[in-house]
Structure 1
Amino acid sequence: MNSRQENKAVETDISDSRKGSSQYSTKQIAMASSVKKKIKCCSVMKMFMMALTFSFTCKALSGVIMKSSITQIERRFGTTTSEAGLIDGSFEIGNLLVITLVSHFGAKSHIPRIIGIGCFITGIGSFLTALPHFLMGHYRYNSVSNANPLDNSTVTYAPCSTDVNSAGNNRSSILLESGCKSESGSHMWIYVMIGNLLRGIGESPIGPLGLTYIDNFSKEGHSTFYVGILHSISMIGPIIGYLLGSLCAKLYVDIGSVDLSTITINPNDSRWVGAWWLGFLIAGVLNVASGIPFFYFPKNLKKARKQSTGPIPLDAPSTNENVSQKLNFKDSEQAKKTDGLAGFFHSLKCIITNQIYILFLISTLMTVSSFIGSITYIPKYLELEYDVSMSKSNFLMGTTTMPFVAISVLLAGYISKKLKLSVMGIVKLLLISRIGSLALQAFLWILNCGNQPIAGLTVTYNGNDPGTTQNIPFSFCNSDCNCDANVWDPVCGDDGLTYMSPCLAGCEYSVGHGKDLVFRNCSCVEANNFQSGNSSVYLGKCPKADDCSRNFIYYIILSSFTSFVIGLAIPSSITLIFKFVEPELKSLAMGFNLLLMRAIGGILAPIYFGAAIDVTCLKWDTNNCGDRGACRIYDSTSFRNRFFGLKMAIRAPEIICYIFLFIAIKKKYQENNTGLANNGGMDVDQSNLKEPLKNNKQLASSAHADGESHI
């Protein structure tokens, strides 16, 4: 009996040991499987971050390409500046058409695939924008060389001729007979506008849904870190965009299909059109490529995360994560009770009746409108005021303005974190930034080179300043020449004056061909330059004075510092919008803010800034049908005063609103000794300052601004 019992005991121990070993092995396998799934989930999130960062960079690059090419498009299609502003604003129109639907329904669908489709649509929009270049004929600009049939002869053309049938004197009628409808730009710019509108539609899901995916499936507390990386790296997009725009603006529009030796204008000429279409083709390819990886990501990573936690005993205590999930579930159930149109309008009423939020909204709207109107037409202003080509303007924007903004944004975030700024501290930083940038822009207004001396437009034919601009193209020196006053073919005389055409300079003949074309025996130059006896003119406007180059250096330095000061306010303006409303209204407050910024700032600002610029035009181009085309030369003084005057007229009330905002918030603090945290629905919990992005998945759209509105 004893031996049998001992055997049984041994067998029991062996079976128990085997059972324990089996259980241990199962746990070990489960743990190994859990680790693998964690690694897989983490790897997928990192890959998604890489893909989203690339798509953010590409869409920002596309937006900057449009901004840097808008003047080239204006000249190519012969539109006014306000019409070009409408083309530029069509991006915001397309974005507004679908942003709400995409944000609401897209979050419930396969987010990565919708982002991928959006990238494809953005690429197609870029291709459509460039399409008119391949459907239109070669670009033709008004020049005597275009009317000259003997380009290789040494003595080729007599600008000043009494023969009414001469080619140069009746250029308009000859072009009209050749068929103006086929040669004119017609309405091909509509394709550009539709392509830009498609870009707006395509980019709408990238920001909101990309942030949603990150916030849903990243580890607890990691979403802000991911978003910070996302925006820091994607700042490369605007920089590359301006550099690419600079390169395209330097290349002639019909490069590869015309002999460049026959082109008599250079990038500094107001008739020059760069290869604007090339940038859109490159941007289209990059956007399409950026969308491919998103089709390989899963709809969600929730299952992997749940499985990675392993089996949880029923009697196990609730962890913080479980409690958080229960609370979120309760919140979602509570949200369902206020769902629907009634709940939406109630929430909308709450934010509209919030005086501090509305005050901040108006201030921000003025800031954005001034910024968008300014950055759209800065290259045009630099070209006119400082005689800087579009290529050089875009290059300087990419190498000075954008890097300084990026540095200041990072510095402002570091200051807020290091000093642990309260809401009052953030408002003070914002107010200092706004007032400082306004003062610096006033100094930029003062820096100028004055009007360029153009005979018959800004000065008389003897070089005297008439006090006001005039449009008297004819004088005694060219009265015998049968000139076409509508032709803009500027030449620089030995007397230092710019003439609107060789004919209006009274030139008798020309020597050479192409860019080396020189006009001799010009009666108007001879009348002003009788002491030296030189009476020739050369292609192109006369260069600005030496002190203008020095002023331009001052402008770039001051402008870079202004951009740095403006950037200091960007983190504050993003963070503060969450501080003035209840926690459950933060998403709606951001959405309402984005709606107004795009509708009034993104769409309207380029149009009314363009309309103000159009008023200052001195010489309009005429197309082959005799219709008005793009402006060739502006009144520099009037342009500067209207451009900066409009910016100041918008920004002065903005500063007043910020001062009232500061007073209102200070008053709230004084009413409650504990601050704003528990006052009247004012959510100012300082923990929100540390991680505001977790409370709103649409913040990325505002911070990055789709590469369009805020660059």
Structure 2
Amino acid sequence: MSVEKTAREPCCSKLKMFLAAMCFVFFAKAFQGSYMKSSVTQIERRFDIPSSLIGFIDGSFEIGNLLVIAFVSYFGAKLHRPRLIGAGCLIMAMGSFITAAPHFFQGLYKYETTISHSTAANGTESILPCLTNGSLANDNEIPTVEIQAECERAASSTLWIYVFLGNMLRGVGETPVMPLGLSYLDDFSREENTALYMALIQTLGILGPMFGFMLGSFCAKLYVDIGAVDLDTITINHKDTRWVGAWWLGFLFTGGVMLLAGIPFWFFPKSLPKQGETETDKKSNILEGEQDRFIPDNNKHSTAPNQPAPVSMAVLAKDFLPSLKKLFSNTIYLILVCTAFVQVSGFIGMITFKPKFMEQIYGQSASRAIFLIGIMTLPAVALGIITGGFIMKKFKLKVLGATKLCIGTSLLSFSALLIQYFLQCDNSQVAGLTVSYEGAPQVSYQKNTLISTCNMGCSCSIKHWDPICASNGLTYASPCLAGCQTSTGYGKDMVFHNCTCIREAPLPFANMSAVLGQCPRKSDCDYMFKFYMVVTVIGAFFSACGATPGYIVLLRSINPELKSLALGIYILIVRTLEMLSWVLFMACIPYPTCCGESCTTDCLIVKRSLQ
């Protein structure tokens, strides 16, 4: 009596090594992409470009995807998939290095300020913010010409093109990773293990954005020209709206990580044995192959994944359009594409500009907003992906069950997104803009409201934003506009004294002094922000729960030969919709443009005061 032993899969089989490599490359590309998202505000400030243009730059990733993803998904499925993924990783690494290149071509960052840096003999700065010489009218006439000249220089600057091209190159390199990697894994793994493997890849991939946003938070606290300037002479800190962090440093680091992630894929074979296939199965497959020599061509079965028949590029190209026609005749696939349209329309703007939204609505610094996204939202996404994959495996859900799970989680996540719309704070209290100098509420976009009786004789410039926080809780656009007479301290520690405008406001104040920086928001805004973060985390969890079931529905509802093409076309459509979303966003910029015909002296100061 003989007992047949079932073959056990080695703990370090090539399929599991490929799975580990896929986890790392998903981590690396998410690490790279999330850092780009976290650096949007820093890049916008460094190159002095409007939000519409930074949206176009960030959308260049989708442009790179659109150029090649359809061809890579179709032709790549017939070629050496692992090596194509390795080549894509190399291209993504090059894209990161090119993105960081403009920093080494630019001069030192110069932020606008009216504060001088003359130092007294005792080491403390002693300046007179409120100057009495000159006339206010002349001061208002000259800045208009100066700003127009600055606008023209910003419009003629081309260094942001490096960021655009580098990000687009990343989009080109990313195209083979998902369609070819997931189809390769699905071809050679057990059917019941596919959902768990995909959940594992996406979960470990979520660690990428977590570390990406944490790196973005760290770099945002470092001054952009770190190592090249004396930081003691800088009068702003990382909470100031003029601060620019060392955005370029993170791109060098993420590019190096991506370079390492692509190395293993150059050593994987073109095909692998099917997971769980025994030696008996292999011999039977060989015997069937020998028997197929005597079977007519029209009765032969399709070639096994691990023994692909050699085909020419001409045959592949000829079969491309019929494959597309077969793919789009699948009703379930078309429904999934329509679902992607709804999801992208709701999430694309929020994902990219979430840190900036937290800065402007809740008064958070760029580094803290990026850090909170990485430390709170992304773990919820990882837990959601694990939960979705666990539910699929635990209850052995088929296509119908996975579809119900996707619909339920999508409804819950969109409900959370709708709630966030009602969780907002009031504008910062800035004298002359959001409140009057007497403390009465107002919202003014007129430059003359910055002038009051308390600063009339100071000949202040109204085109610069040098915020100071007074003891009465009001923010003043500059020490001069606050009517401050003297100052002590140096750099970030400067304190302004004898500010006449502080006395004019009927608000309780300890003294007539003020410190550099914008005043914090009210305490109820902090409470609102905490509630906002709770709702955001819950919504991210439910949204992530439907990710793995969605991929399973996609893979199980199409012809196995079209898996790579289906994933590629699906991503292509999603990227196209993202581009359309960028077009709509660029047409709905909420702030006035500070260049061109609408260039005015009060444009920049109004924009920054509302943040």
State the TM bucket, normalised to the shorter chain.
0.7 to 0.9
1:73 to 1:321, Cα distance in 2 relative to 1, 3 A: farther
Task: Provide the residue aligned with 1:497 in structure 2.
Answer: 474
1:572 to 1:206, Cα distance in 2 relative to 1, 3 A: closer
Query: Where do 5+ consecutive residues of structure 1 fail to align?
Result: 1-34, 637-711
1:272 to 1:174, Cα distance in 2 relative to 1, 3 A: same
1:162 to 1:250, Cα distance in 2 relative to 1, 3 A: same
SS across alignment from 2:511: coil
SS across alignment from 1:633: helix
Counterpart contact for 1:155–1:510, Cα < 8 Å: yes
Task: Provide the residue aligned with 2:463 in structure 1.
Answer: 486
CA drift of 1:442 comes to 3.2
1:366 to 1:220, Cα distance in 2 relative to 1, 3 A: closer
SS across alignment from 1:538: strand
CA drift of 1:55 comes to 2.1
Can you list the C-alpha shifts for 1:12-71, whole angstroms capped at 9, x where unaligned? Answer: xxxxxxxxxxxxxxxxxxxxxxx9xx97x9644444433333222111100010011111
**Separation of aligned partners in 2, 1:606 and 1:302:** 44
**Separation of aligned partners in 2, 1:189 and 1:297:** 38
Counterpart contact for 2:128–2:487, Cα < 8 Å: yes
Are 1:237 and 2:243 matched, yes or no? Answer: no
Are 1:464 and 2:434 matched, yes or no? Answer: no
1:289 to 1:414, Cα distance in 2 relative to 1, 3 A: closer
Are 1:91 and 2:91 matched, yes or no? Answer: no
Can you list the C-alpha shifts for 1:230-262, whole angstroms capped at 9, x where unaligned? Answer: 333332212111111111112221222222222
1:618 to 1:464, Cα distance in 2 relative to 1, 3 A: farther
Counterpart contact for 2:73–2:564, Cα < 8 Å: no
SS across alignment from 2:465: coil
1:597 to 1:530, Cα distance in 2 relative to 1, 3 A: closer
Task: Provide the residue aligned with 1:663 in structure 2.
Answer: none
1:572 to 1:480, Cα distance in 2 relative to 1, 3 A: same
Q: Match of 1:266, as an amino acid?
A: N
**Which has the greater radius of gyration?**
1
Task: Provide the residue aligned with 1:670 in structure 2.
Answer: none
Q: 1:385 aligns with which of 344, 356, 361?
A: 361
Task: Provide the residue aligned with 1:158 in structure 2.
Answer: 129
Counterpart contact for 1:239–1:399, Cα < 8 Å: yes
CA drift of 1:400 comes to 1.3
SS across alignment from 2:515: strand
Are 1:366 and 2:336 matched, yes or no? Answer: no
CA drift of 1:320 comes to 14
CA drift of 1:520 comes to 2.5
Task: Provide the residue aligned with 1:446 in structure 2.
Answer: 422
**Separation of aligned partners in 1, 2:148 and 2:178:** 52
Q: Match of 2:301, as an amino acid?
A: L
Q: 2:489 aligns with which of 512, 535, 549?
A: 512
CA drift of 1:554 comes to 1.8
Equivalent positions of 1:236-635 (< 5 A) are: 236-300=207-271, 327-329=301-303, 344-345=320-321, 348-349=324-325, 352=328, 357-421=333-397, 425-466=401-442, 471=447, 472-528=449-505, 534-577=511-554, 588-601=565-578, 603-609=579-585, 611-612=587-588, 614-616=589-591, 632-633=607-608, 635=610
CA RMSD between the two structures: 4.5
**Separation of aligned partners in 2, 1:110 and 1:340:** 14
Q: Match of 2:128, as an amino acid?
A: Y
Q: Match of 1:278, as an amino acid?
A: L
**Separation of aligned partners in 2, 1:502 and 1:250:** 25
Counterpart contact for 2:437–2:452, Cα < 8 Å: yes
CA drift of 1:371 comes to 1.4
CA drift of 1:187 comes to 2.2
Q: Match of 2:303, as an amino acid?
A: F
Query: Where do 5+ consecutive residues of structure 2 fail to align?
Result: 1-6
**Separation of aligned partners in 2, 1:207 and 1:501:** 51
Number of aligned positions between the proteins = 591
Task: Provide the residue aligned with 2:4 in structure 1.
Answer: none
Q: Match of 1:503, as an amino acid?
A: C
**Separation of aligned partners in 2, 1:215 and 1:423:** 16
1:42 to 1:526, Cα distance in 2 relative to 1, 3 A: closer
CA drift of 1:102 comes to 2.4
Counterpart contact for 1:490–1:539, Cα < 8 Å: yes
**What percent of counterpart residues are identical?**
40
SS across alignment from 2:45: helix
Counterpart contact for 2:433–2:443, Cα < 8 Å: no
Can you list the C-alpha shifts for 1:563-617, whole angstroms capped at 9, x where unaligned? Answer: 112222223433334566666666554433221111112x3334533553x3245
Task: Provide the residue aligned with 1:79 in structure 2.
Answer: 49
CA drift of 1:136 comes to 0.8
Task: Provide the residue aligned with 1:208 in structure 2.
Answer: 179
**Separation of aligned partners in 2, 1:504 and 1:203:** 51
Q: 2:112 aligns with which of 124, 142, 149?
A: 142
Are 1:66 and 2:36 matched, yes or no? Answer: yes
Counterpart contact for 2:195–2:392, Cα < 8 Å: no
- TM-score, length-scaled by structure 2: 0.83
